[in-house]
Amino acid sequence: MANLTSSRRRIGTTALELPTFGLGTAHLGELYAKVDEADARATLDTAWELGVRYYDTAPWYGRGLSQARVGGFLRTKPRAEFCLTTKLGRTLHRPRNPLTFDRSPWQGGFNFDVKFDYSYGGFMRSYEQALLQLGIDTVDALLIHDLDESVHADRYPGHLAALLESGMKALEELKRSADIKAIGMGINTAKALEVTARSVNLDFVLVAMPYTLLDQGTLHTGMADCVARGISVIIGSPLASGILATGPGGNARYNYGTASPEVLAKVRALQNICAEYSVSLTAAALQFPLAHPAVVSIIPGAARPCEVTQNLAALSAVIPEAFWAALKAQRLIDSDAPTP
């Protein structure tokens, strides 16, 4: 498995090179279920033992819990041996009434309220808070987090204005001073990839949902624009919130919610082709996005050691070219989509 975790690709024109496989840590912030400390530590231990050297986190993940867990683990490792990214856009604060504070949508996490702030001051405050929570004095890159109409509704224009007027100055200042090596943006929707990401100069985007084995709607728009502009892409949810790992049964999740009948039907169709060619659905989902010329890394999440082990095994599985051809013939993936 070493070659899967040690292989690196460069972010844009920067000096930052990321492993093609990393660990997303939203689950360690207790996204869908509580994760006890022993399981969280064992998951991080297993990832490290298997060669994983790229870790992505955010203040929002468990309202600080993910950063604390990731930092607590990585503080024990040589700093030159790993890559670490986190995000800006929210600052953490003590709730007005801690006893009645609602931590949702997190199932657990820390008891901190959040405030959106995309200004220079907000970014610098969030950056300092992140370093303190991590207990690590440097991160390799920072990302603008959740600047999306679907998140902010009528407050979106004001947040975008704050970013353009001063927030970007903070990121550019940190990059010029070599505090960070690259500037990114976390993306949840096709519209954000096609509109918001174009409003600022970025080195990379972290695409959580709009480009997966289930959805290539951005192939000729946002993803093509990244290629044209020399912007690298990290795929943050290659398993599409889990359904490409669990399949369509039970409480299958897609895009952080319950999967629709249409999505369930498409996953079943994908499973049928997988069965015909003896290919794991998870293997296809993890290997597919790495074939795109803009993609440098995939960072599936994990909350248990076995999930890291299974993902790395799936990434190394041999998939015949005929399988990808069959998906295109059945119109289950875009006919122009690059495949391994």
- Catalytic pick from 56, 117, 146, 148? 56
Instruction: Assess whether pLDDT exceeds 60 at residue 1.
Output: no
- Catalytic pick from 54, 61, 127, 211? 61
Residue 156 annotated among the catalytic residues of the structure: no
Burial 265-279 (b: 16+ CB within 10 A, else e): ebbeebbebbeeeeb
Q: pLDDT tens-digit profile of 193-218?
A: 999 999 999 999 999 999 999 999 99
Domains (range + CATH), the chain: 2-262+282-320 (3.20.20.100)
The residues, any chain, with a CB within 8 Å of residue 30's CB and separated by 6 or more, are 62, 65, 106, 107, 108, 109
Q: pLDDT tens-digit profile of 121-178?
A: 999 999 999 999 999 999 999 999 999 999 999 999 999 999 999 999 999 999 999 9
pLDDT at 253: 84
49's enclosing H/E stretch is helix 37-49
Higher per-residue pLDDT: 251 or 181: 181
Residue 87 annotated among the catalytic residues of the structure: yes
C-alpha to C-alpha distance for 315 and 270, rounded to whole angstroms: 17
C-alpha to C-alpha distance for 93 and 89, rounded to whole angstroms: 13
Instruction: Assess whether pLDDT exceeds 50 at residue 190.
Output: yes
pLDDT at 3: 63
User: Residue 4 — very low, low, confident or very high, per pLDDT cuts 50/70/90?
Assistant: low
SS3 144: strand
pLDDT at 2: 44
Q: Is 178 exposed, middle or buried (0-12, 13-18, 19+ CB in 10 A)?
A: exposed
What rounded mean pLDDT belongs to the chain?
A: 95
pLDDT at 118: 98
The residues, any chain, with a CB within 8 Å of residue 21's CB and separated by 6 or more, are 4, 5, 52, 54, 297, 298, 299, 311, 312, 315
Residue 54 annotated among the catalytic residues of the structure: no
Q: pLDDT tens-digit profile of 36-87?
A: 999 999 999 999 999 999 999 999 999 999 999 999 999 999 999 999 999 9
Higher per-residue pLDDT: 95 or 2: 95
Query: What is the rounded radius of gyration, in angstroms, for the C-alpha atoms of the chain?
Result: 19
Identity of the amino acid at 6: S
pLDDT at 266: 96
The residues, any chain, with a CB within 8 Å of residue 315's CB and separated by 6 or more, are 4, 21, 283, 286, 287
Give the other-Cβ count within 10 Å of 113's Cβ.
17
Most distant CA pair in the chain, distance: 59
Specify the pTM.
0.95
- Catalytic pick from 54, 55, 87, 120? 87
